[in-house]
Amino acid sequence: MKIYKLLLLSALPALGLLSSCEDMDENYKQYEVEDVYSGKVLNLTARVGFESAILSWDNPQDQISKGIEIVVVGNDTVSYSFDFATLTPSTPDLVIYEADSIRINNLNQGTAYEMTVYTVDAYGNRSIDVMVPVMPLSQEAYDAIVPPICAGTIDGNGNTAINFQGLTSLSFNFAGTINYQVFDGETLYAEGVATAETVDDDGDEILVNTLVAAVPGLKPDKQYKVKFETDVLPLSGNTPIEDTVTLLSESNLFVSISGISGLDYTMGDGWVEVSYQQPKNELAKTILVTSEAFPTGKLELPNTADSEGGSFRVDGLTANQAVKFTVARVDENGKASDAMSIDATPATQAQLNTITNPTLSISKDILGYMTLNASNFGDNDQFKTKGDADDKTNLKFIIEDEAGNEVFNDVITFPVGEGSFSLGLSQLDTEATYTVKYEFECYPKINGRTSEDSFVLRRAHTIENGSISAGSPIDSIE
């Protein structure tokens, strides 16, 4: 009996030791499961929308993560979740694009939010948290945006039009579309959609600040009302939000006639032709020209909406002075635009007689013989010489003594545009008096313009005691 008791007593500790080892294995297995957590998300980013936020991240590559939980802290705390197996949102405010991309709507507290993203395992245990701050566009911020404005204008085709302005600002970028209505009193006059490209062929953003929409037939200086809706992308910092919002605007609209854009003129013998340039404008019904050159003091010319300019000519201007012309456009109500004026000077013989070129001078050699030096017979700032069929200028040159006898009579020819030469006068008596006369054709220049008609320039000089006088105009050299 003692032997059996001894064996029994010896076996009891061994059984206890075996039972203890089995408990430790089970405890280790439980410990191991509890400590292998799901991995955290990586590269969490946020984009904002109107009362919403869009989150994107990279999910961990493990077998533990079974879903996502997002805790949003604003004025209160709200949790959103979904599992990877079904991608079913826990609330309608959670929109799931992919397992790693979602949108949360109805973030309408007008405050900043902290959004923390966890992966969760099959037991709902969270991973290490990853947080990003978000400031969605609130209704209050939307209401504070200053919308675009508009004004009446004329487009490039001459039509009355609306000029939408301020489409891009520090608060928003234009999204490409404007819906508008134009009212004449309470009656809808016109409506339409104005669009512009906001991205180029390379995908780069185009900032559009103005946009013109044609509304033909608007009456000058009449008040219209414009209601328009502008699609914009509000800015969060310098970054556009993800949602396009519509800004509502209302403005009074006027269109008025504009003035001409430029005046110029050409001239000839006793006449000027004034040309005017203008942008196309359907409001401009006539062109009004006022000047003392007209018997009635004014000239009215018809105008069309697509006209970009015209001209008028005035003849019979014999005075050696400028004539002022004032030009304006007139609408159907007889209202004139801002005017533009120009002083136009015709070419006349009287004006030609006042110029100082050409010039003649006398030099003597060591033997006392005289040489006549001529300059400025070619093109200069006072005239342009006229050439013949061979592009030559023909200068008829005569020298007479005191008795009227010709001591020199010849035609001097030189290339058109040139005009300096010397003429030896060894046959002349240095103590005698002579008259030098010449004539040639030229185009006078006045105020930087060259006459389209040629004139004959005739001059006479006196050689006396070896020197020559300044020239004076004459009617004939014969």
C-alpha distances (whole Å) from 343 to each of 27, 322, 349 are: 109, 6, 19
Is-above-0.85 flag for pTM? no
User: What integer is the mean pLDDT of 417-426?
Assistant: 90
Residue 57 in contact with residue 130, Cβ under 8 Å? Answer: yes
Of the listed ranges 12-21, 83-92, 133-142, 372-381, the least confidently predicted one is: 12-21
Is the peptide bond between 136 and the residue preceding it cis, with omega within 30 degrees of 0?
A: no
pLDDT at residue number 238 = 73
- In whole angstroms, what is the distance from residue 369 CA to residue 424 CA? 8
Q: b vs e for 180-200, b when ≥16 Cβ sit within 10 Å of the residue's Cβ?
A: bebbeeeeebbeeebebebee
Instruction: Give pLDDT tens digits for 340-387.
Output: 999 999 999 999 999 999 999 999 998 889 999 999 998 999 999 999
pLDDT exceeding 90 applies to what percent of the chain?
83
Tell me: pLDDT of 15 over 50: no
Task: Look at residue 18 and tell me whether its pLDDT is greater than 50.
Answer: no
DSSP 434: E
Cα atoms found within 13 Å of the Cα of residue 212, Cβ hemisphere only: 12
Confidence at residue 35, expressed as pLDDT on a 0 to 100 scale = 59
- pLDDT confidence band for 224 (50 / 70 / 90): very high
How would residue 414 be classed by pLDDT, with cut points 50, 70 and 90? confident
Is the model's pLDDT at 33 over the cut of 50? no
Task: Identify whether the C-beta of residue 223 lies closer than 8 Å to the C-beta of residue 253.
Answer: yes
Q: pLDDT tens for residues 147-177?
A: 999 999 999 999 999 999 999 999 999 999 9
The mean of the pLDDT values for the chain is 91
Over 70: is that where the pLDDT of 17 sits? no
Structural domain spans, the chain: 42-140, 145-253, 262-346, 350-473
Fold of the domain built from segment(s) 262-346 = Immunoglobulin-like (2.60.40)
Please state which CATH number belongs to domain 42-140. 2.60.40.10
Task: Give the pLDDT of residue 368.
Answer: 86
Of 2-16, 220-234, 444-458, the range with the lowest mean pLDDT is 2-16
42-140 and 350-473: identical CATH topology: yes
CATH 2.60.40 fits 350-473, yes or no: yes
Report the pLDDT value the prediction gives residue 23, as an integer from 0 to 100.
54
- pLDDT range class, residue 30, cuts 50, 70, 90: very low
- pLDDT reading at 263 higher than 50: yes
In 42-155, where does DSSP find H-type helix?
Answer: 139-143
pLDDT score at 284: 96
Give the per-residue pLDDT at 437: 96
Tell me which of 121-135, 154-168, 254-268, 409-423 is least confident: 409-423
The CATH code of domain 145-253 reads 2.60.40
